[in-house]
Structure formats: structure tokens, C-alpha cells
Amino acid sequence: MSRVGSALDRIESALRRPAVAAALVLAVGIAVAEEARVRQNRFPSSHEDFSHLLAADTFARGRLANPPLEHGVHFESPLILVRPHYVSALPPAQGALLALGQRLGDPLHGSALGLGLAGAAVTWMLAGWLPGLWPLFGGLVLALHPRLVGIWGTGYSSGLPALVGAALLLGSLPRLLGDRVRGGVALGVGAGLLALSQPFHGLVAALPAVGYLALGLRRRGPGRRLPARALAAAASTLAALVAFHAYYDWRTTGDPFTTPWALYRETYAPTPELLFLEERAPALARPAFQEALAGDASPNAQSFSRRRTWEGFWEGVAAKLGLSWSFFLLPAFSAVFLALPFALREPGVRFALAAVAVYLLALPLDARDRALHVATYLPAFGLLFTASAKRWTDLGLRRFPAGALAVMALLLLGWYQQHVATSEVIDERLLLDLESRGKITRMLQRRADKGLVLVRTAGGQSGTAEWVYNEADLDLAPLLFARSISPEADEELVLAHPERKVWLLNSSGRRLAVVAHPEARYWRGEPRPEPLELSQEEEQRLREEVEARLRARVPWLRF
């Protein structure tokens, strides 16, 4: 028994080291996300997914931007720029994460790595504030969080890069004041990641950190020297990342001070995403599909105008708080915070409360309701959560660990609740697969080695029902999706791709029809083709694929 106890003591001593705890959480996060990825078999389904995949494909090919498209108007899509370069309009951090996964064989490997890095960063952050095994506890709670695993860790769009940046920023503060060089490097890397993932919310998250540093330096007194080495490391790291950001903007937009997101909004979006900005007409008007192009860049004009009223402002506050609470906490996790008033003396708790207060004040300024925007504030919430759980464990009845058992029960209940909620989201997406872009893609690739699909929408296109997304290198893509503009413009596009067989896709709501293109002159002397439809065997095979994935994800579901 003494040998077993000695071994356990050595293990516990090792896990108290931040590097060991962070490495363990990294491995757990990657393993859990990879298992969930295989089980869920996720596919891209939103505008953001396809935009991040374009960035990933671009970066994986060893370049920051693709050449401008010759027939760019046919390839305009939400969150995509076709001029001055063909690039994603979104910040590049998520695309870089997926690019790393693509180089490893699947973009979703990058999402799994992102979840592991987020858990490791939070563990490292907590080690700067809390003692013992509590950093490991907080990191594992995040790495095993059902929503983060089931949606961000296995999806193409997430707030994981911003979460990592915010955790590095908060964890650097106590280390930087102790003049540790790694604290300065972490501050620079964290601030850079926030700028490359969520610029506005990253700026808001950085404000409390700046205030904490200023207050800490002021309290040092005249007899103590400044942490010059750590500040120099922070300044040099941040300067390098700022230079890269400017270089990336120059390569993608031609202007080092204009981001792809700003150019996209200026080109297509009539209403800004921030309430204190003014509305203006977009540089390009595309009446047939303007709503789709602007939909993910800004709210519609009616919603924006209402949010600028006091009544609409408080409606937005309630909506965002409800979204954040339902996505990350739910009742069981929230109960842990009942011990927060007793944890105010724990290191960093008051600072985390101030950071959360700044977040609550700034959150309503963004007119869009997105759960991923909460990522920059999750590390502060994680510090409050872990400190509250630590106070729970102080409760005991005659050496019976009532507080520790209560925390474990609440965590298990919360994980179960969020597992059910995550299953509902994934089930809905899988059920739409029979009418998804993937079905059409698989069907047409069986008919031709290289194809061109002209997409014609009835009355515009909105929501997530968008088709015109492609790889970074159009010439190498087996199947191109392009927007049908007019017979003359379509013929010019078709003649520019003589090696591709052409189809026309008519999309109206959820009704899809794919036929070989009816314009005989497009076929260069070939007989007029017949409509293309799925055979009964193909339809049955596709349905069985979807049902098999559903049964693997939700065993109790019956067909």
C-alpha cells in the first residue's frame, strides 16, 4: 500500500505542474473531439463553414490569397470576396486551424486540435491564479464540455481560436507582472489571436487586461523595477503579429489597413454589425441575391433599426444573455455559481468579475446574435466557475465530502443536459442531408469527371440555402458551382470551361431540380440532353447512409 500511495503522490505532484496538466488536457480534448468527429460524421452546412473551408484550402496550398476570378460575378457568395482576390472574408484564424487539419488529412482534425489547445490554454491560464489541481479540473471541464465538443470541436466554424487567445491573455497577466518572459510572449500571442479571430470582441476582452496591468504596475512602488524583460517580449511578439496582420490584409485586399471583412461589408452589406455605426448603401447592388450576400455580414435593416431603440436594445441584451446561458451553462452548471459570493477572496476572481462586467456592457453593441462571440469571455467565466467549485468542496459534514460530491453531480447533470441539446442540433442537420449540397455533388460527380453547375434561384436566396461555394483552385476542382446570371453571361462562362459538362440547378426554397443544361448551343453540337434524376437505387442508398449516421448518433431514434 505504501508503494501505491507513493506512486499516487508522485502522479499528483506531476499533475500540479502547469505544463503536465496542460499536456494532459490537450490530449484529452483531441481524443474526445476525434471520437465525436467519427461518430457524428459532420459536413459543412452554413455560409461560415464554406468560407472557412475556402480559407483553409487557400492556406493549405501555401498561399494567403488566390488570384482574382475572371468571371467573378458568377462566383459571388456570402462571406466570399472575388475581387481584388478570391478569398474568405472572415478573419483567418479559424481557416488556419482547418488548414492544419487539411494537411493532416481532414479539416476537422484542426477543429479537434483547436479544442485540445483551448483546454490546454485554459489550464495554463488557471495555473496562474489558482493552486493545486484546480487548473487541471477547470481545463478538463472545458475540454469535455458537450457543446464545445459536439459543435465547435467537430465543426468547421467555432470560437476556439478566440478562446485560446483570451485564455493566453488572461493567463499572462500574473506572470508578466512577475517579469517572466513567457508571460510577455503569451500576452502578445493572445492579443494577436484575438485580432485574427474576433477583432471587436477581442478588443473588448483586452480592455480589462490593460486595466489590470496598469493598476499592477502602478502598485509596484518606487523601489521596485518594472518587468522590463516581460514587457519587451510582449511588445516584440505583438509587433510581429501586427505586421503579419497588415501583410495579410495587403495580400488579400491590396491595403494593409483594410481587412477582408471590412471590404466585404463595404461591398455588400447595407447595415453595420455594430449599433454605433451608421447605415449606408453597399458599393455593389445585386438585387437577385443581395439578402444572401449581406445576411451573414450584418443584420437586416428592420432588426438593426429596432436594436437602436431602448426597447430593442434591452431585447438584444436579453437575447444574447439567453443565448450565452443556454449554449454554455444550462441550469446544472449555473448552480455551481451559487458559491461565487464565498469565492471573492480567491486570486483573480474580482478581476474576472470586472472582465465579465465589461463584457456584459459591450455585448449588446453587436447587433448579431452569435454564440461564438462569447468565446473571448469564456476564460473569465472559467476562472469564476473553477473558483466557485473550489469553494463548494469546502462544504463537508463530519468529513463527508458533500461539497465535492455536489459539484460532481452538477457537472454530470449539466453534461447530460447539454448532450441532449447537442444531439438535437446535429440530428436536424443530418435530416436535411437528403436535400443538401452534398447529395447533388455526389450525384453529379458520378456522371462526369469535371462538371459545371449553374445555380438559378427563384426570387433570391437567403438563410443557409446557398450553393455557390468552391475550392481555392477552380481549375483543379472536379465540380464547380456558379451563379446563373443571364443567357449571354452564362454562355461566356461555359465557353471558358470547354472541358466541363454543364448542368443547371433550379433552387426555390427547399425544392431542388437538377437537369442537364437546356440551351443547345452550350453543348457544342451534342444532342439535347435529357433531365438528370436520381435512380431509385441511388435514392435508397443515400437514405440508408443518412439513417446509419443517425442511428450511430442517436441510438433510440426509429425509422
Check residue 278 and report its DSSP letter: P
Asked, for residue 463, whether it belongs to a domain, the answer is: yes
- For residues 517 and 426, membership in a common domain is answered with no
User: Phi/psi of residue 111, each to 5°?
Assistant: -65, -40
**Which residue range is the domain that position 504 belongs to?**
434-553
State the pLDDT confidence band at 517, using cuts at 50, 70 and 90. Answer: low
Residue 428 is which amino acid? E
- For residues 458 and 498, membership in a common domain is answered with yes
**Of 69-83, 364-378, 379-393, which gets the smallest average pLDDT?**
364-378
- For residues 493 and 424, membership in a common domain is answered with no
Domain end, chosen from 431, 465, 489, is at: 431
Asked, for residue 352, whether it belongs to a domain, the answer is: yes
Three cell numbers at 250?
495587403
The pLDDT of 185-200, averaged and rounded, is: 93
- For residues 449 and 522, membership in a common domain is answered with yes
Predicted pLDDT at 488: 82
State the pLDDT confidence band at 538, using cuts at 50, 70 and 90. Answer: low
Tell me the pLDDT tens digit for each residue of 302-311: 677 777 787 8
Whether the per-residue pLDDT at 91 is higher than 90: the answer is yes
Tell me the pLDDT tens digit for each residue of 390-425: 887 766 544 545 555 666 666 666 555 555 544 444
Asked, for residue 480, whether it belongs to a domain, the answer is: yes
Whether the per-residue pLDDT at 345 is higher than 50: the answer is yes
Tell me the pLDDT tens digit for each residue of 131-160: 888 899 889 888 888 888 888 998 899 999
Paired sense of beta strands 87-88 and 451-457, if any: unpaired
Q: pTM of the predicted model, to two decimals?
A: 0.85
Q: Name the domain count of the chain.
A: 2
- For residues 342 and 375, membership in a common domain is answered with yes
Q: pLDDT: is 355 or 458 the higher one?
A: 355
- For residues 549 and 471, membership in a common domain is answered with yes
Paired sense of beta strands 451-457 and 501-508, if any: parallel
Predicted pLDDT at 461: 43
Cα–Cα distances in Å, from 135 out to 327, 402, 413?
A: 23, 21, 22
Residues 6+ positions from 514 with CB-CB distance below 8 Å: 440, 443, 444, 453, 503, 504, 505, 506, 532, 533
Tell me the pLDDT tens digit for each residue of 442-464: 777 777 678 888 887 655 443 44
Predicted pLDDT at 366: 80
* 55-88 as b/e: b if 16+ CB within 10 A: bbbbbbeeebbbeebebeebbbbbbbbbbebbbb
Q: Minimal CA–CA distance to 196: which of 166, 152, 234?
A: 166
State the pLDDT confidence band at 293, using cuts at 50, 70 and 90. Answer: low
Predicted pLDDT at 422: 47
- For residues 425 and 442, membership in a common domain is answered with no
Assess contact for 487 and 519: CB atoms under 8 A. Answer: yes
Q: pLDDT: is 362 or 81 the higher one?
A: 81
Whether the per-residue pLDDT at 25 is higher than 70: the answer is yes
CA 394 to chain centre: 37
Predicted pLDDT at 190: 94
Predicted pLDDT at 165: 95
Assess contact for 74 and 483: CB atoms under 8 A. Answer: yes
Q: pLDDT: is 268 or 529 the higher one?
A: 268
Q: pLDDT: is 558 or 399 the higher one?
A: 399
Alpha carbon distance 289, 455 (integer Å): 12
Domain end, chosen from 363, 396, 431, is at: 431
Q: Minimal CA–CA distance to 264: which of 93, 99, 85?
A: 85
- For residues 411 and 501, membership in a common domain is answered with no
DSSP string, 413-436: HHHHHHHHHHHHHHHHHHHTGGGS
Asked, for residue 251, whether it belongs to a domain, the answer is: no
The pLDDT of 78-104, averaged and rounded, is: 93
Domain end, chosen from 416, 431, 446, is at: 431
The pLDDT of 260-277, averaged and rounded, is: 81
Predicted pLDDT at 292: 56
- For residues 416 and 488, membership in a common domain is answered with no
Whether the per-residue pLDDT at 125 is higher than 90: the answer is yes
> What percent of the chain has pLDDT above 90?
26
Asked, for residue 452, whether it belongs to a domain, the answer is: yes
Assess contact for 353 and 129: CB atoms under 8 A. Answer: no
Predicted pLDDT at 383: 92
Alpha carbon distance 167, 187 (integer Å): 9
- For residues 439 and 549, membership in a common domain is answered with yes
Asked, for residue 15, whether it belongs to a domain, the answer is: no
> What percent of the chain has pLDDT above 70?
73
Asked, for residue 311, whether it belongs to a domain, the answer is: no
- For residues 425 and 438, membership in a common domain is answered with no
Task: Tell whether omega for the bond before 227 is within 30 degrees of 0, i.e. cis.
Answer: no
- For residues 410 and 456, membership in a common domain is answered with no
Asked, for residue 395, whether it belongs to a domain, the answer is: yes
The pLDDT of 43-53, averaged and rounded, is: 86
Whether the per-residue pLDDT at 294 is higher than 70: the answer is no
Three cell numbers at 220?
509596484
Q: Name the most confidently modeled range: 19-23, 296-300, 345-349.
A: 19-23
